[in-house]
Homo-oligomer: A and B are copies of this chain.
Amino acid sequence: MSISIEKTSEQLVQKAVVACQGIAGSNSETACRTLFAEPDIMFFKSFEAVFSAVEKGLCKYGILPIENSTHGSVTGVYDLMRKHSFGIVKAVKISIAHCLLGVEGTKLSGIKEVLSHEQAIGQCSEFLKNHPDIKVTVCANTAVAARTVAESGRDDLAAICSEQCAEIYGLKTLTKNIQDAQYNCTRFICISAQPVVYDGSDKVSLICSLPHKPNALYGLLATFADYNIDGEKVNLTKIESRPIPGTDFEFVFYIDFETKLSDDKLAMLLGDLEIYTPNLEVLGIYSESSDITE
């Protein structure tokens, strides 16, 4: 592969059709509205359907959560990245606060069952551990949890979701900020069918597999170090490994790095990385914004 990087001075198309997982009130919607001024949002049931909608051209962009600061990677999305064709064009980090919502008349002490997405359940593990008698049921999305509670009319059922779901689904907030860590945020990627590198892009995501031999990962990282002589040009921000199903713990690696290299130098680095990983694939070169005031 000969790699060349061509940046475009265009920006994200603001009035685009954007695919999000879940239903109105989901955190994907919040991420979407942070990136797009006037998105035409199409909701899908699964992460896989979001990838497919973008791949097939039904939606120009798709929004997917990839990592939470408390609970870690959204492994399901990582595993789907291997199976679909797409480019990451933007990322956004948003703060996540979880509330417990129930129908009017619900009391915290009367709750027997809680619904939510497994990531949200993981992010509220301390709260749930302190309420061991509450049954925990996983559902597809935090907003689906809220809608299910609203439709049930039950006063012994509650949803863990964002507070904005209270207004959307006519629910009452029973308690706020039940996530384990008060600093709790999730990174979302924005994908398109074709890779596009917008001006200002300074982050690169790669996927590769490495041979099962000593020093393979070291060889790859040594290449990064070669381009990093003054220690500020390349900063590895994440390595995620996921098993390849059906193999004896063989892995694919997902690598994110921030870079201040020129486009030409970056293209050279990517070319050099291929020496260690013949099946290297660039998932995207993009910038990451944030809704968090630090």
Contacts and interface: CB of A to CB of B under 8 A. Distances in A.
Interface of A: 67-72, 75-76, 118, 121-122, 136-138, 180-185, 187, 213-215, 217-218, 221-222, 224-225, 228, 231-243, 245-249, 294
Contacts of A242: 72
Contacts of A228: 214-215
Nearest to A138: B138
A137 B140 CA distance: 11
A131 to B, nearest CB: 14
A247 B183 CA distance: 7
Contacts of A122: 75-76
Contacts of A180: 245
B137 A69 contact: no
A75 B118 CA distance: 13
Contacts of A233: 214
Contacts of A225: 215, 218
Given A138-B138, A236-B214, A246 B70 contact: yes
Contacts of A214: 228, 231-236
